[in-house]
Amino acid sequence: MAWGSSSSSSSSSSNYDVFLSFRGEDTRHAFTGHLYKALHDKGIHTFIDDEKLQRGEQITRALMEAIQDSRVAITVLSQNYASSSFCLDELATILHCHQRKRLLVIPVFYKVDPSDVRHQKGSYAEALEKLETRFQHDPEKLQKWKMALKQVADLSGYHFKEGDGYEFKFIEKIVERVSREINPRTLHVADYPVGLESRVLDVRRLLDAGSDDGVHMIGIHGMGGLGKSTLARAVYNELIIAEKFDGFCFLANVREKSDKKDGLEHLQRILLSEILGEKNISLTSTQQGISIIQSRLKGKKVLLILDDVNTHGQLQAIGRRDWFGPGSKIIITTRDEQLLAYHEVNETYEMKELNQKDALQLLTWNAFKKEKADPTYVEVLHRVVAYASGLPLALEVIGSHLVGKSIEAWESAIKQYKRIPKKEILDVLTVSFDALEEEEQKVFLDIACCLKGWTLTEVEHILPGLYDDCMKHNIGVLVEKSLIKVSWGDGVVNMHDLIQDMGRRIDQQRSSKEPGKRRRLWLTKDIIQVLDDNSGTSEIQMISLDLSLSEKETTIDWNGNAFRKIKNLKILFIRNGTCHMQVISKLHYVIWVPWLKEEVQEAKGSEI
C-alpha cells in the first residue's frame, strides 16, 4: 500500500511511467525527440528505444517487457507509421495491454487525420496494401494490425495539424495530461503507519459497497488526535492508484482554511483547479463558486476528500452529493458526527484508539526509529502507552520528544506530562472544546472535572440544578463532537483521559487563582485549603472531593462554618472518605461515596 509520499515512478510497481511508440524515420529527431525531452524535464521516467531496435522485423522480448512495465503508452501516429510492421506489432502489443487494463494509451495524431487511421485511408491505406503483399501468408497478422489501428483511433488523444500553431505548446498539453495520469499527487501519509492497513481496508469496504450508478459518500469521525486525516490520506492514495477518476482533490484543513478571509471561495477555487486542471480560476463569491462547481463538475466522476470539516456551511459550499457524476466518491473527516447526519452521510466509520500492541509499536518507532526498543525500556514504554490511552497524536509527540533520552529522562517526563500535558497535544484536543456553545462548554467542564464515570441517568438528574432543562441536548452535542462517550451496556459517561486533562486544564486557566473564587473545586489540596481557611465564596457551585487514592481511610472534620460563605453550592461529591460535618447551605444534591459504596441522597441543611 502507498503509505508514504510518492514520486511519479514510485507510486506504482511499473519500471517506466511512459512508453513512446513512434516511427523513427518520421519523428525521432523532431516531434518525438522534443516530446521525450519535455517528459524527461518534468521528471517523468520515459522509455524511448534506440535507432537499432526498429531495424528488425519483430519486437524483442526486452521491448515487450518495457511496454508491459509502463503505466502510459503514447503512440505518435505519423504519416508513415503504418508502413512499419515493427510499429504495427508494437501497437498491437500496446492495445493488448490496454485491454487488460494495465496500460493507459494516449494516441497522438501527428499531421495525420484520425479518420485515416481509423478507416485505413490515405497513407495508411497505401502502407497496408504493401504489407498485404509481404504478409499474404499471414492474414491473421494483417487483421490484427487493422484492428489495432481502429482501436487506437477510437481512444481519446491529441491531433496536431500542419500549420496548427507552435509544437511546443501542443507538447505542453500532452505532458500536462501525462503528468496528471502517472503522478496523481499521492500524499505523504505517515512516517510510521502502524495499525493503518486494517482501517484502510474497512473504509474501502464501505466505499465499495456503494453502487457505481450514484455518488457514494462516507464519513470518518472521532475525537481529535486519533488519525482521521492520516486514514483519509491513505485511502486517497489507494483510490487514485486503483481506480479511474476524471479528477481528484484532497481539501486538507477545511476548518482552518474556511475561517480565513474568503476562505470558502479559496477552497472552491482549489476544488475546481484540482479537478479541471485549470489555473487562475476567479470567483467573486461563495454563491458563484457553488454555481460553477455545479455546472462544471456535474458529469465528472471525482474523488473528493473534505478533511476536518466542522460546519454545515463548509459542506454546503464545497461538498454536496448532487454536484458530481456517477461513480464519484466523497470522504468527509470530522469530529462532529451530527454534521454527517445533517448532510445525509449514511455510511460512517468511527475512529477508535489504538490497541495496546499497536500503541506500543507506534511509540517505539517514534522514540527509537526501529521496531524494537532496548529491553530495559519496556516498563517505561508501557507506562507511556497507558498514559496516552491509545491516542496516536500523544504517542507520536511524546516519542519524538524522548528520542535518545535515558530511562531517567523518560521517568521524569512521564511525571511532567501527568502534571502538565504537552501543549502540542492539548492544542489539537482544545479545537473541539472551542466549537461548543457557552453552556455546552460548562457542561463539558463539569463532566471533565467532577462527573466522569457517572451514569448518564445520574448526570442528567444532577446537572439540571445548575442549568435550564436542556441537559439531554447538551449531552448529545458532547457525544456528537466526540468529547464524551456513553457506553451502551451500563450507560456510563466517559471520556479519553487526555480529553479530561484538557478540560481540567481549561478549567484551571479560566478560573481565579484563588480556589475560593472558583466555580468548581476538584483538586483535593484546593478543597482542603478552602474549607480549612474558611475562604469559600458564593462563586463555588460544585465540590468534588475524591479520596480514592488514599491508602487508608481519611477522616475530614469540618464544622458547618466552613460552608457558611459558600452560599451557592449546589453539588457536593465526596468519594472514599468518612466525613463529619454539618452542611448549612442549600445543596441540590449530596453525593457521598464511602469506600466505593455509592449513595445519592437529597440534602437541604441536613447533617451527614
pLDDT of residue 304: 96
- SS3 (DSSP) at 452: coil
Are residues 547 and 458 located together in one domain of the fold?
no
pLDDT of residue 459: 87
pLDDT of residue 9: 33
pLDDT of residue 363: 95
Are residues 211 and 274 located together in one domain of the fold?
yes
Residue 576: pLDDT band with limits 50, 70, 90? low
Are residues 570 and 589 located together in one domain of the fold?
yes
- Domain count for the chain: 5
Give pairs for 263-269: CB < 8 Å, separation 24+.
264/289, 264/313, 264/314, 264/317, 264/318, 265/289, 267/314, 267/317, 267/318, 268/292, 268/293, 268/317, 268/318
Within-domain flag for 397? yes
- Which residue range is the domain that position 546 belongs to? 514-607
602 is catalytic: no
Give pairs for 198-207: CB < 8 Å, separation 24+.
199/231, 199/234, 199/349, 199/351, 200/1, 200/231, 200/234, 200/235, 200/238, 202/349, 203/231, 203/235, 203/331, 203/349, 204/235, 204/238, 206/347, 206/349, 207/235, 207/239, 207/329, 207/331
Mean pLDDT across 579-607 = 41
pLDDT of residue 228: 96
Q: Are 324 and 215 in contact (CB under 8 A)?
A: yes
Q: What is the pLDDT of residues 70-105, one digit of tens each?
A: 989 999 999 999 999 999 999 999 999 998 877 899
Q: Are 518 and 539 in contact (CB under 8 A)?
A: yes
Mark which of 453, 487, 510 sits at the end of a domain. 510
Within-domain flag for 173? yes
Are residues 296 and 323 located together in one domain of the fold?
yes
Mark which of 152, 182, 212 sits at the end of a domain. 182
Are residues 170 and 21 located together in one domain of the fold?
yes
Are residues 223 and 267 located together in one domain of the fold?
yes
Are residues 344 and 214 located together in one domain of the fold?
yes
Are residues 243 and 318 located together in one domain of the fold?
yes
Mark which of 510, 545, 575 sits at the end of a domain. 510
Within-domain flag for 389? yes
Q: What is the pLDDT of residues 509-549, one digit of tens each?
A: 999 999 999 999 998 888 888 888 888 898 998 888 876 65
Within-domain flag for 381? yes
Within-domain flag for 326? yes
**Predicted confidence (pLDDT) at residue 59 exceeds the cutoff of 80:** no
> Between 118 and 606, where is the model more confident?
118
Within-domain flag for 274? yes
Q: What is the pLDDT of residues 347-379, one digit of tens each?
A: 999 999 999 999 999 999 999 999 999 999 999
Q: Tell me what the pLDDT averaged over the chain comes to.
A: 85
Give pairs for 138-143: CB < 8 Å, separation 24+.
none
- Which of the following is catalytic: 57, 65, 90, 181? 90
Q: What is the CATH number of the domain that holds 148?
A: 3.40.50.10140
pLDDT of residue 210: 62
Are residues 401 and 470 located together in one domain of the fold?
no
> Between 525 and 159, where is the model more confident?
159
Q: If we measure between CA atoms, which residue out of 160, 174, 234 comes closest to residue 199? A: 234
Are residues 412 and 494 located together in one domain of the fold?
no
> Between 600 and 120, where is the model more confident?
120
Within-domain flag for 268? yes
Angstrom distance (rounded) from CA 571 to CA 583: 12
Size (the chain), residues: 608
pLDDT of residue 231: 97
Within-domain flag for 191? no
Question: Could you tell me the pTM of the whole model?
Answer: 0.70
Are residues 497 and 378 located together in one domain of the fold?
no
Q: Are 108 and 76 in contact (CB under 8 A)?
A: yes
Are residues 164 and 219 located together in one domain of the fold?
no
